[in-house]
């Protein structure tokens, strides 16, 4: 059993630990050690704007953090506070898609419906805010979850990272 709540500033340390564990264990088959290390804290990490906006959800099993994910009304498509070119400009729900962001599940809790539950909460909140569609940038690891939930691939590309490394990702979109 788990439940959802909105993240607050006091949750950042636990979220950071969860993200690191999720990336290292669940993405090991899809990204190299070097890619995962370079992405942590930049591409994969906490975006504190999502916490300030009240759009970052935490999945809790009692007092244990077992998953997190967010939706956003901001232009930035992915990444932590340190991602280069971060753009927190507001989107227009009449013309822009909401952003689905920062989904990470504790490895011991994977494949138990937590990602789908967080995604439903994010889509419901975006819809309530007037958004008619949503887009996201999926990891190779996460693509199957989003495809199963009706997201269509719009692009496959690579995010440039430190030391010339590149991270393959997938752009996806869905009408809400």
Mean pLDDT for 138-142 is: 98
Render pLDDT for 73-128 as a digit per residue (tens, 0 to 9): 999 999 999 999 999 999 999 999 999 999 999 999 999 999 999 999 999 999 99
Mean pLDDT for 154-175 is: 96
pLDDT for 163 beyond 90: no
Site of tokens 């952003």:
99
Helices (H), 40-89: 48-52
Helix (H) or strand (E) holding 13: helix 12-26
| Number of domains observed in the structure of the chain | 1
Cα–Cα distance between 169 and 139 in angstroms, integer? 5
Between CA 82 and CA 21, with CA 118 as vertex, the angle to 5 degrees is 50
CATH, residue 116: 3.40.630.30
Q: What is the mean pLDDT of the chain?
A: 97
pLDDT for 135 beyond 90: yes
Between CA 147 and CA 144, with CA 135 as vertex, the angle to 5 degrees is 20
* Six token digits for residue 86: 């971060």
Coarse DSSP helix, strand, coil percentages of the chain, rounded to the nearest 5 percent: 30, 30, 35
Domain region containing 23: 3-79+88-175
């Amino acid at each position: 059993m788990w439940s959802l709540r909105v993240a607050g500033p006091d949750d950042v340390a636990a979220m950071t630990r969860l993200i690191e564990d999720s990336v290292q264990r669940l993405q090991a088959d899809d990204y190299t050690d070097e890619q995962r290390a370079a992405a942590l804290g930049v591409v994969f990490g906490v975006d504190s704007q999502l916490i300030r906006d009240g759009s970052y959800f935490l999945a809790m099993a009692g007092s244990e953090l077992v998953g997190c994910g967010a939706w956003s009304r901001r232009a930035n498509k992915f990444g932590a506070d340190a991602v280069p070119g971060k753009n927190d400009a507001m989107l227009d729900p009449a013309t822009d898609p909401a952003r689905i962001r920062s989904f990470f599940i504790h490895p011991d809790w994977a494949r138990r419906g937590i990602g789908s539950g967080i995604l439903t909460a994010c889509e419901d909140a975006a819809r309530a805010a007037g958004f008619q569609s949503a887009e996201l940038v999926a990891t190779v690891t996460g693509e199957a979850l989003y495809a199963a939930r009706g997201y269509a691939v719009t692009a496959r590309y690579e995010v440039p990272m430190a030391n010339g490394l590149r991270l393959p990702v997938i752009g996806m979109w869905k009408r809400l």
